[in-house]
Amino acid sequence: MQNAEVRMRRIAAVLLVAAAVAVVAGCDWLLGLDTTPPICAITCPADSAAVNGVVQIVATASDSVGVERVEFYADGTIVGTDSSVPYSTSWDASSLAEGSWHSVSCIAYDLDQNKGYSDTVLVVIAAAGQRSVYHGELDISAGTRQALRFDARAADTLAGDVQVVSAGALSSFMWLDDANYQKYLASQTYTALFRQDGFQQMSVRQPVPAGGSYYLVFANSGGSALKCWVRFVLE
């Protein structure tokens, strides 16, 4: 009989603790206390990208209440803060040794100062005179396109490779200047600086005709999503 009473008291104690936890959690909800951290990610540079000089770091961040700011870190040291979309900063990597690897990350803060941490992106310092346009993977949904914008000088040469790493072939790859890219978007007649259709792997190395803005367009008119490995630099 005493054993039964002891068991009942233990059960009652457990239920009391559970109820207290539920009440505390419920009070947080009723009082509007936010304990959920924001989500953030580095979107540029891509992981394993080759960079040099002044590097633009870009991130995305979201939160159920609101993002107050995003802090950017290189090798664990803060290099900038931004409080407006798109979240970005500049990192001066001009003094770093060629071939050395470095880490880039960010921390997002919401309005209640909860912190969300991004994954770490690793970048390598490119040879002098070489600038990264893009280095990483692209996921291109069926019936869609993706475009990468970059600025170049007249003395530059665009060099790069595209490889489809999933089953299927990329419908089209095009290199367009700004004027012809706008015509392409408007379904008007345009002229590409370089174009290749229906391939799984290709390479290009071609001088830039003039200084200005350019676009690399990856078009997938097929019925399945494609994953492409892409690397382009300016030499």
The whole-model pTM stands at 0.54
> Does residue 16 sit in the same domain as residue 91?
no
What CATH number is given to the structural domain containing 77? 2.60.40.10
Q: How far apart are CA 204 and CA 37, in angstroms?
A: 43
pLDDT for 15: 54
The fraction of the chain above a pLDDT of 70, given in percent, is 86
User: Which of 125, 155, 179 represents a domain boundary (last residue)?
Assistant: 125
> Does residue 145 sit in the same domain as residue 230?
yes
> Does residue 66 sit in the same domain as residue 146?
no
Average pLDDT, the chain: 86
* Domain range for 120: 39-125
25-83 pLDDT per residue, tens: 444 445 567 889 999 999 888 888 878 777 889 899 999 999 999 999 999 999 999 99
Residues 6+ apart with CB under 8 A from 235: 129, 130, 156, 157, 159
Strand 101-110 to strand 115-117: parallel, antiparallel, or no bridges (unpaired)? antiparallel
User: Which of 69, 103, 125 represents a domain boundary (last residue)?
Assistant: 125
